Amino acid sequence: MQFINPYFLFGLILIAIPIIIHLFNFRKFKKIYFSNVRLLKEIEISTKKQNKVRNWILLLSRILAIIALVLLFAQPYFPNKEEKLVEKGLNAVVICLDNSFSMQNQGREGQLIEQGKQKAKDIIKQYNSSDEFLLLTMDMEGKHQHFVNKEMLINYLDEIEISSKTEYNSKLIKRGFDLLNNKQGFNKRLFFISDFQHLAFDVDKFPMDTTIKTLLVPIEANNISNIYIDSISFIDPVFQIGKNITLNVRIINKSDKKAEAVSVKLFLDNKQLSVSSLDIEANQSQSLIMNFVLEKHGIQHGYISLIDNPITFDDNFYFTFQTNPKIEVLSINSETSNPYISHLFSSSNSEISLTDMNEKKIDFTDFSKYSLIILNQLNEFSSGLASELTRYRERGGDILIIPSEKMNISSFQSSMQQMGLPIYSQLVLRTNKVSLINQESKLYKGVFSQQVENMEMPSAKKYFQLSYTTQTSRESIMKFQSQDDFLLVSQKDKSKVYIFATDLNDSFTDFVRQALFVPTLWNMALFSQVVPVPYYMLSENNEIDISQLSQANNLTLVQIVSIDKKTSFIPELRKSNQQQSLIIHNQIHKAGNYNIVEQDKVYAGVSFNYSRMESDLSFLDTKEISEKLKQHSLKSYNTLDTKKQLIASYFKKTDKGFSLSIIWLILLFLSITIETYILLKNR
């Protein structure tokens, strides 16, 4: 038998008090004269015997009460030697301490992060000076990922601050297991101290290792209502001076009450452009449409803002977009350029610039600077060109394919199939007329103010049939009377490939002389603008593709600098084939707008936002955690309910140890009951 609080055993000295009272509590008898002395003696003898028995019972009950009370505070127990938290020999202990945004909330004992630090210190104190310790936080700092002694770990704990980083619980546990498994000959323990948010508790991915006992230490957190901006997106971004740009803003109300008249503001380059308000039902999300007029080209930094206390880290959402004065279009020609396309995208035009290139002298390195590539009447469609166009599509570039009567159809079929596109089959030598135009297609956005019934339809003297499988992505834009496609589009992610069934010249079709030709080709170029990713989340190991920058190949030593110039660092510049990327390696800790700079010249902009995982402030309690661990049969995991018991108490008794406290509590009440009964009976 062992004791959790052995110092209370000194209280057994108090047993002397009832013994002293019993020895020195002599009653003085008063003499009373009776006529029958014999009868008096019999009564006197009988009374002394009763008093003696009663006094002994009272003495024993009082002694028992003191013993039971002292042992109740000393908390004796029979330990289970196989489940000790501190084993004999060397111990290797990993402390995982959650320092994400939610840990800045207030609990019943103050700020959660400070409670977590203290619990970590309480755990460390239970181990020996020869044991080794390792600290893991959401930051996953390199200096923490090696074992140190007690004093060093306490110093690390004192340095911990709230971090913008957040990870799923399983990631920290897996990393802790990896580090513990490098310690041979040690008893291994891992403690995870956290408020255990619902979203981060991915118990289904927790690692299994029976050699490591894992203890989850929940810190009770208050569920706080929170309204936050979850994401934004551009709706059909066509960036033209003087035109409206539309943003879709998704806002979430994570509370049990309806949010009314939530004010949302739009800022661009620190200038407020728009303000709106909306109502959001409890625990619901709602999209808000916000508009602004594009006044200039170039890099523009913006953010959406709302006011919601006390949680403020997710009230601003930053974004960046970059537009060019000209949309660059490349036409790869077999012989000469198409006169109709050349005239449409003439050099005098201020918005679209057309470059011609011969199919025998293709410079693949230039592909990245073009928004639209036209394959104009090529004779051959090589697999090498198909591979380069596939990479081009991965960066969001658009393609227009115009067939030629002289083309090697088998090479086109092979390459188009390689790219997952509909393929040309046979040349149909008969006249056919377009009977259907998909006026709802995004290609004709803003072209038709209403459904046009009696529109003049283009016709073709001959055309190639387009065939495809059910898995091929496609949307018909124009169809012949025979239901064959005149023009279709195949989309993958943000990249679109437009495919005509005819050559765009008079010998094939009259489409080039109709009014619809201009908006069709014009919008293909206009909608091909490659819009950089408007934002990244700080929780990700971000890779920023800069291949679309016109001078990306010349960049060697790039810096990322905050727009207030208070923060700057050098990212890794990685080049792979025709793609160039910046690898951040978690060097950004503050949400905001940044510039990509080399030698004081700004090449692009980029925005970072805090992860919204921390915005859902709902937590698991000890009971819920235990149930989830049981459901997933994680027998080597357990919880420490520090709300009911001190950390030190768990180290002095095991989870399966048999406590005697209830026995001493029963004996205490029994002894008090006996004493009370005797005293009341002999009044």
Gap between the Cα atoms of 180 and 134, Å rounded: 9
Q: Which CATH architecture has domain 87-223+617-656?
A: 3-Layer(aba) Sandwich (3.40)
Per residue in 226-255, pLDDT (tens digit) is: 999 999 999 877 788 888 899 999 999 998
For residues 175 and 140, is the Cβ–Cβ distance under 8 A?
yes
- Note whether 533 and 540 are within 8 A (CB): no
**pLDDT < 70: residue spans in the chain:** 1-4, 25-50, 77-84, 223, 347-350, 449-454, 540-541, 550, 552-553, 577-578, 644-645, 648-650, 652-660, 682-683
CATH C-level class of 327-526: alpha beta
Overall pTM > 0.85:
no
Domain 536-609 class, CATH top level: mainly beta
For 288, other C-beta atoms within 10 Å of its C-beta total 20
604 vs 7: CA distance, rounded Å: 69
Q: Determine the pLDDT at residue 49.
A: 67
Rounded to whole angstroms, the Cα distance separating 109 from 19 reads 44
Amino acid symbol at 453: E
Distance, in Å, from the CA atom of 658 to the CA atom of 675, rounded to the nearest integer, reads 30
Among 131, 33, 163, 46, residue whose Cα is nearest residue 614: 163
pLDDT tens digits, 563-585: 999 999 999 988 776 678 889 88
Residue 301: which of 316, 320, 317 has the closest Cα? 320
CA atoms of 167 and 103, how far apart (whole Å): 13
- Describe the crossing of helices 150-159 and 112-125 by its angle, rounded to 10 degrees: 180
Topology alike, domains 230-315 and 536-609: yes
Q: Where are the domains positioned within the chain?
A: 2-79+660-681, 87-223+617-656, 230-315, 327-526, 536-609
CA angle 13, 19, 21 (to 5 degrees): 115
Q: Report pLDDT digits (tens) over 306-348.
A: 988 777 889 999 999 988 888 899 999 998 899 999 999 885 5
Its CATH class, for the domain covering 230-315, is mainly beta
The rounded distance, in Å, linking the Cα atoms of 1 and 13 is 20
The pair of structure tokens assigned to 291 is 């508009």
